[in-house]
Amino acid sequence: MNIENIEIIRIGVYATSILLILIGLYAVLTKKSLIKIIIGLSIIDGGIHLLLIGIGYIKNGTAPIFSPGFENASAQMVDPVPQALVLTAIVIGFGVTAVALALIIRLYRHHNTLKIDEIKNLKW
Amino acid sequence: MEIIYLIFILFLSGAIATFLLGKVSKRLRDIAFITTLVVPSVLFFTQINIGQTVDFSVLGIHLSWGITNFSYIFAYIVLGLGVLAGIYAVAAMKGKENLGFFFFNYILSIMAMMGILFSRDLISFFVFWEIMTWSSYLMVVFTGKDVQKVGIKYFIFSAIGAYAMLMAIVITYSLTGSMMISNLIFAFPDFEFGMQILIPVLLLIGFGVKSAMMPLHVWAVGSYSHSPMAYTAVFSGALSKMGIYGMIIVMAGLVSRIPEGYWFREVIAWMGAITAVGGTLWAVAQDDAKKMLAYSSVAQLGYIIIGIAIGTPLAMLASLFMAILHGMFKGTLFMAVGAIEKQTGTTNFTEVTGLIRKMPFTFLASLMSIIALAGIPPLGGFIGKWMLYESVIGSNHYLLIIVIFFSSTAAFLYCYKFLFGFFLGQEEKEWAHVKEAPAMMVVPMVILAIGTFIFGVFPGLILNPIDAGLQELGYAVTQGRYWEMSVLFNEWGDTVVLQPILYTILAVFVFFLAFVLTKNFKKTRYVSTKDISSSGEIPKEHENLTFSRGFFQPFLRSVEPLMRRKIDPYYNSFGRGMEAIFDFVRRIYTGNGQTYALYVVVFALLLLIFKDRLWG
Amino acid sequence: MKKTIVILLLAAFGYFLAITFLDPDFEKDRNRNGVKNVYLEKTVSELKTANTVTAIVVNFRGFDTLGEVTVLFLAASALGSILFKKRHHVGERSITLPASSIVSTGAKLLFPAIILLGVYVFVHGHLTPGGGFQGGTIIATGFLLMLISYRNFSISHNILSVIESLAGILFVVIGLMGFINGGTFLQNFMPTGTLNNLFSGGIIPIIYILVGFKVATELTGLIYTILHEKG
Amino acid sequence: MVGSPVLLIAIPLLAAFLIPLLGIFWKELVRIIPGLVLGYLTILSASLYIDVLNTGTIVETIAGWRAPWGINLVFSPLTGFLATLMTFIGFIIWLYSYRFKRNVEFEAAKKYFIFLMLLVAGSIGIVITGDIFNQFVFIEIVGISAYALTAFYTGRNSAEAAFKYLIMGSLSASALLIAIILIYSQLGTLNMAEIAANIHNMPPQYRVTAMIFFIIGIGVEAEIFPLNGWAPDAYTEAPGPVGSAFAGIVVKAGIYAMVRMMFTLFDISGPMQILIIIGMITLVVAETSALRQVQLKRMLAYSSIGQMGLVLVAFGMGTKAGVFAALFLMLNHAIIKPLLFFSGSYLVFNSKEKNISEMSGLGKLMPFTAAFFALGSFAIVGLPPFAGFWSKLSVLTAAANDGLLLIIAIVLLVSIVEIVYYFRVINRIYFFKFDKATSVVPHKPRVNALIAMAILAILILVIGFYPDSVSEILNRASEDLLNTPDYIKNVLSTGQSLTY
């Protein structure tokens, strides 16, 4: 592979993740259903996690795991830090989503609807 | 320990003790209250020397307390009136709920006023100023009547004033690096032009509110008439003088030292004149004694402001003299109204009549105070007014003097109304049972009334300290020179030897009093209200013969165009407009979570668009 | 209308993201000698952990992981608190359709295998791609499978919460033991062994196993709570 | 040496995991342990703080790796001050709510205390951590506990409030992650000190973009203007003590994160127009919105937001006087607002619809609560001689020194609005007649609640009468914030951790 191809891969990853963020934002900003809004948030999260992974990419990189006999292969390894971060970020995103879903159940119990514009008892 | 600290600690601990004792025993509470007022006053007059200071620092700002000749004048008003009205209050407020709270605030406001007089730096000044404001506010709302309207109005205006002042204070600090008042006065002529205008304007707004200067007076009437009368005596008599105190410092210390000062003087003088005229006219129109006196206070403060604005030594003397006298006679009048209210339950002229025999001492005190208020010799008010006229004419404000004359004359109307409405006229059956107020209420009134008389006869007793105080502000040593200019007052200030003319006036007065009190009284036949015949007709039972209804209608009709210009509605509609705008603003918070999410994105976008300007 | 505005806004937003991330300069000036190289080097030389990601997650940035575990714990508690009802009764399961026998039999068959896989993944977290989170999630899917296959399948909430608490407590206690032994929180105080052995990496595998337990129980608890919620 | 900063985080987490276990044995432990933990944290934090003032910043490494590699905790005059304040307020809140939900199910009470403790721990974490990703994790801990606490009452609209909070919270978390990505991709590190040392090597366009995403990411917790839509709802719907925890603890952490980011991370010196502009807008919008509120807690919420706007303005001046004023404001607000929420909760509790108009005459029936509320109101609007005055004065003098006359004028005008709405309430509770139709028969506050309120009230009076009691602390803290080189040096030079 030559350099241009690598750039294309990298930019492709970035572009995809930006696109995911925008799609998620679109869902959050326009969809009326609470569930869809949460899905939108998850999509944003997904995009950001992809972006985070993407910045660790290096040309011809390998996984940052040392196998027997390859103890000195660190130069070829991709950046492990974003991977560790993304692990944490995913779990946190998961926790938030779980709480959000529970809140939606509560909201449905209380308002008998999932439309966000009908749930505004609190305002001004 | 410094005696200055001790005074404040005594006040503070006394206030708390009074409040707490109120939960235990009423008698102890009253005793604690009076003690707390008297002891620091005695300490003040005996132990404090002029020029003695204490210095300390707070948050790295150097502060200093000490009394000057000038503030000593005001201390007379504050402590004198404070103690007398305090004694009066104990009797007047007897049996009311929450008295501990009342006394607590009373002491705090006296303390705050003393603090203002002690402050030699702007921060202490402001701190005490605010303590005075909120403690007096709590007094205004104490009765719980019209709290939302009157109380809030008072506090809003006070806050506007206080914050205008605070702004001036912080600007001063940034310009001079010091909070000392003397440094401000010293450095003021070197400030740049904008600041030379801004700082006095802001300070004058602050002081103008407390001294009820015309466009800022709207709180005064409601507050004066709503707080308990025992406190209003202090409120109108002493507390409003703090505005005067500050105003004098600004006018004499700052404004007189810059070329543009001339315009300040003219504007303030005219505002004072408008205040005087407006206050007088509205006082005439009132049927409620409290409101009438409140408007009258506004008017009187207007005169004082005119004097300050004119700024000649004689005018200053006049203003300060009137300030002290006003504290005395207006204090008495408010106390008298309080006594009437306590005894009859109302303060409306149209309801109460013929109390002269029922409450003779109250009448006497009121009579003397009214004479002083109207400016009739030999009581003190006359001298103040005379000096004021003279100074206004002497400084070539001829238009102004016409206005002042007009309002002084109009003031006679309400003075008469007060006397007639309550004390003269026919006795109504309804008030047959009314008795004189308790001695504890009468004595302070009488003392103050007699004081008015004494100061009217011996003006030098006050004018000399005032003179000394004015020297502190940079006025030349006058030592009687200025009031000697008046034909009437030759050497009165200096010597206690009375001139023949004074003897004459005094003799007439004494004779009149003797006539009223002895001979004439005995020969008077008291008849019931309906025991008259008017043009041969005998009035029926239901016919209203009370003359105090619709007093001065023709006069009021003729000045109606002047009175139509009320400023209240403008403030009210401004307030409503602001509330409407604010109500609109809070609709930003739509309550829709999605909109909030949109805000996040829009905010991000805005920041990103202007990102080149964000750094640094 | 609103959608158009939103699309325009997002287009602008996307433009700014794009000029940031798609700019060729974004790669050019990057600092490639950051902490990464140190991590790769020290993982082998000092921690003797094959999987650098695991080393980072558990050791270098172990504090994050503690926080992350707390987030999960919080989420599980929050779920219970948010869905808490005054009348404390175990609600009917929302899913009322019985699973077909193929599913239920298959589930029975798969369950041990899934659990085993999960355990393998978190035990070998320091050697292979995987670890506590991944393994815990796998185990939770096993329970999810059982829960949707068998209507009567129930797990004692108490046991779950005891395991969950114990795992969390042990995590902190191990951290504190490092604090007592080595001077810093979460510091390794056990022999590190040799690279690529199961027993290597000092406290890393232990913590990761605890994380595995915690994640597994918490996720199961989450699923259980939501399944028993009647909407 | 009494301990180490890491215990400030580890102990509450340990206790949080322990509580469910211990609750099985003795239910009362669930209430007691958080109090013990928070009390211990207060003592620990205070003693560490005294050490720090005497000997200098403590940098605590974690897992034995020195600064840029491992995560580190920085306990400096600034962060120590905030951590001590937070633990103290947390303890007071515990004291106030010790008997909270006494009659309700054990499960609910258990969760309440766990969330409360983790809320405090997370906020401390935000303050003392030296690593941006770690800060993100703590922000999320705070966030999730806050969502759960907001939605605590099942009967009300609380889920709605929590949901709005959650949407904004997760959007901001995403923004924060983008910022972290940008920083990491350009500088290859997550350590604040290392970032601060290298920030000028980062190309400006990425630097500013990262800063923007940071502002959005932290702005939700810091309640800056367009990002604070959740706040009034959450404050209103959350239980009373939680509102005070938001106002006294969480916001402070958010503000700290924001200014640490601006001052240290991005090493901006001099005035920061963006903070001033955002702060002014926040202040004006919030205070004007507060004017016409019907509900007391909502009013307090807007007031709290407004105060935070003022804090940002003061920080934005970038001078030592400005920072001093801002920290002073934060301190006062952290003491006064909980007092207002505490006493306000009881007032709300005794009115049927939570409306201010239904609190007529409660002052006579519950004298202490009403007096505390009045004291708090006096203090927060800045009436001397109470605590709030001195902070307002410092803000104004700081602004005057920078010649920001317009800002002084606006702040003072807004203060008048503030006075109006606070005094409306005071008038209502003191000088109106009690009305049985709208109020319920008063529930008198319990002793522990009264003690909690009294402690705060005494603090207000002490600071009010003797502001110099805290000025030294605040001076040290503001010097610490402004001294970025020392921060970098302290963090990066710490090889081995401290021993004890």
3-state DSSP helix/strand/coil percent for chain B, to nearest 5?
75, 5, 25
**pLDDT computed for residue D364 by the predictor:** 81
pLDDT band at residue B109 using 50, 70 and 90 as cut-offs: very high
pLDDT band at residue D71 using 50, 70 and 90 as cut-offs: confident
CB B591 within 8 A of CB D231: no
* Per-residue pLDDT reduced to its tens digit, D419-445: 989 988 888 888 888 777 767 776 778
* Per-residue pLDDT reduced to its tens digit, D196-228: 888 888 888 888 889 999 999 999 988 898 888
CA–CA separation, D349 and D336 (whole Å): 20
CB-CB under 8 Å, A37 with B587: no
CB-CB under 8 Å, D134 with C33: no
Q: Determine the distance in angstroms separating the CA of A8 from the nearest CA of chain C, rounded to an integer.
A: 10
**pLDDT computed for residue D158 by the predictor:** 87
Q: Determine the distance in angstroms separating the CA of B616 from the nearest CA of chain C, rounded to an integer.
A: 20
The residues near B487 (Cβ < 8 Å, ≥ 6 apart) are none
Q: Determine the distance in angstroms separating the CA of B105 from the nearest CA of chain D, rounded to an integer.
A: 14
**pLDDT computed for residue B497 by the predictor:** 43
Least confident of B495-499, C111-115, D44-48, D366-370: B495-499
* Per-residue pLDDT reduced to its tens digit, D465-481: 898 889 899 999 999 89
Region C152-160: mean pLDDT is 80
For residue C12, the chain B residues in CB contact (below 8 A) are: 605, 609
Asked if residue B245 has pLDDT above 80, the reply is yes
Taking the Cβ of residue B601 and every Cβ of chain A, the question of whether any pair is shorter than 8 Å is answered with yes
Q: Nearest Cβ partner of A117 from B592, B597, B598?
A: B592
pLDDT band at residue D500 using 50, 70 and 90 as cut-offs: very low
This prediction has a pTM of: 0.92
Q: Which amino acid is at D211?
A: M
Q: Determine the distance in angstroms separating the CA of D364 from the nearest CA of chain A, rounded to an integer.
A: 31
Taking the Cβ of residue D288 and every Cβ of chain B, the question of whether any pair is shorter than 8 Å is answered with yes
Please name every residue paired with D129 in a beta bridge, in sequence order, or none if there are none.
D73
CB-CB under 8 Å, B602 with C10: no
CA–CA separation, D400 and D390 (whole Å): 15
Helix axes A3-30, A34-54, angle to 10 degrees: 160
For residue C31, the chain D residues in CB contact (below 8 A) are: 186-189, 198, 201
Taking the Cβ of residue B155 and every Cβ of chain D, the question of whether any pair is shorter than 8 Å is answered with yes
CA–CA separation, A89 and C67 (whole Å): 11
Region B61-79: mean pLDDT is 88
Please name every residue paired with A33 in a beta bridge, in sequence order, or none if there are none.
A115
pLDDT band at residue B493 using 50, 70 and 90 as cut-offs: very low
Q: Find the closest chain A residue to C27 by CA distance.
A: A55
Asked if residue A9 has pLDDT above 80, the reply is no
**Locate tokens 């902070």: which residue?**
D391
Q: Nearest Cβ partner of D63 from C32, C73, C184?
A: C184
Region B302-327: mean pLDDT is 87
CB-CB under 8 Å, B590 with A120: yes
pLDDT band at residue D497 using 50, 70 and 90 as cut-offs: very low
* Cα separations in angstroms, C103 against C138, C147, C155, D19: 18, 12, 20, 39
Asked if residue B178 has pLDDT above 70, the reply is yes
What's the sign of the alpha-carbon dihedral D381, D385, D386, D392? positive
Q: Which of the residues B592, B594, B595, B608 would you substitute to probe the C interface, choosing the one with the greatest number of C C-beta atoms within 10 Å? A: B608
Q: Find the closest chain D residue to A39 by CA distance.
A: D167
CA–CA separation, C157 and C225 (whole Å): 9
Q: Nearest Cβ partner of C29 from D71, D186, D209?
A: D186
Closest CA relative to residue B201, chosen from D314, D409, C147:
D409
For residue A66, the chain C residues in CB contact (below 8 A) are: 43-44, 50-52, 195-196
pLDDT band at residue C27 using 50, 70 and 90 as cut-offs: confident
Question: How large a percentage of chain B has pLDDT more than 70?
Answer: 88
Cα three-residue angle B78-B84-B89, rounded to 5 degrees: 110
CB-CB under 8 Å, B598 with C13: no
CB D417 within 8 A of CB D287: yes
**pLDDT computed for residue B422 by the predictor:** 82
Q: Determine the distance in angstroms separating the CA of A113 from the nearest CA of chain D, rounded to an integer.
A: 12
* Domains of chain A: residue spans and CATH: 3-118 (1.10.287.3510)
Task: Name the burial class of residue B449, with classes exposed (0-12), middle (13-18) and buried (19+) by CB atoms within 10 angstroms of its CB.
Answer: buried
Residue-averaged pLDDT of chain D? 87
Q: Determine the distance in angstroms separating the CA of C70 from the nearest CA of chain A, rounded to an integer.
A: 10
The residues near C85 (Cβ < 8 Å, ≥ 6 apart) are C91, D154
Question: How large a percentage of chain D has pLDDT more than 90?
Answer: 45
CB C128: neighbour CB atoms within 10 A? 17
Asked if residue B560 has pLDDT above 90, the reply is no
* Per-residue pLDDT reduced to its tens digit, C58-108: 888 888 888 988 998 999 888 888 887 654 445 555 556 677 888 888 888
For residue A65, the chain C residues in CB contact (below 8 A) are: 50-53, 127-129
CB D188 within 8 A of CB C35: yes
Structure tokens of B613? 């300007």
Structure tokens of C97? 């359709």
Task: Name the burial class of residue B541, with classes exposed (0-12), middle (13-18) and buried (19+) by CB atoms within 10 angstroms of its CB.
Answer: exposed
Size of interface A-B (CB pairs under 8 A): 31
Taking the Cβ of residue D226 and every Cβ of chain B, the question of whether any pair is shorter than 8 Å is answered with yes
CA–CA separation, A52 and A57 (whole Å): 10
CB-CB under 8 Å, A65 with C128: yes
Least confident of B156-160, C179-183, D323-327, D483-487: C179-183
Residue B47 backbone zone (phi > 0: left; psi -120 to 50: alpha; other: beta): alpha
* A contact residues 79-118, partner C, Cβ 8 Å cutoff: 79-81, 83-85, 87-88, 90-92, 94-96, 98-99, 101-103, 105-106, 108-109
The residues near B10 (Cβ < 8 Å, ≥ 6 apart) are B36, B39, B40, B43
Higher pLDDT: D136 or C156? It is D136
For residue A63, the chain C residues in CB contact (below 8 A) are: 129
Asked if residue D310 has pLDDT above 90, the reply is yes
| Pairing assessment for the beta strands B61-66 and D72-75 based on DSSP bridges | unpaired
Q: Determine the distance in angstroms separating the CA of A81 from the nearest CA of chain D, rounded to an integer.
A: 9
**pLDDT computed for residue B476 by the predictor:** 66
CB-CB under 8 Å, C9 with B604: no
Dihedral angle computed from the Cα positions of residues B453, B456, B458 and B461, in that order, rounded to the nearest 10 degrees: 100
CB-CB under 8 Å, C13 with B604: yes
Least confident of B475-479, B557-561, D22-26: B475-479
* Per-residue pLDDT reduced to its tens digit, B87-107: 999 888 888 878 888 899 999
CB-CB under 8 Å, A80 with C22: no
Taking the Cβ of residue C183 and every Cβ of chain D, the question of whether any pair is shorter than 8 Å is answered with yes
CB B388 within 8 A of CB B316: no
Region D286-294: mean pLDDT is 89
Structure tokens of B11? 């006040």
Asked if residue D453 has pLDDT above 90, the reply is yes
* Per-residue pLDDT reduced to its tens digit, A15-63: 999 999 999 999 999 999 999 999 999 999 999 999 998 888 777 778 8
* Per-residue pLDDT reduced to its tens digit, C101-111: 888 888 889 99
Give D138-164 as a 3 state SS string: HHHHHHHHHHHHHCCCCCCCHHHHHHH
Structure tokens of C216? 């597994």
Higher pLDDT: D188 or A99? It is A99
**pLDDT computed for residue C116 by the predictor:** 93
CB-CB under 8 Å, A122 with D157: yes
> What is the Cα B77 distance to its own chain's centre?
11
Closest CA relative to residue D44, chosen from D97, D16, D80:
D80
**pLDDT computed for residue B511 by the predictor:** 76
For residue B616, the chain D residues in CB contact (below 8 A) are: 268, 270, 272
CB-CB under 8 Å, A121 with B594: no
Asked if residue C5 has pLDDT above 70, the reply is yes
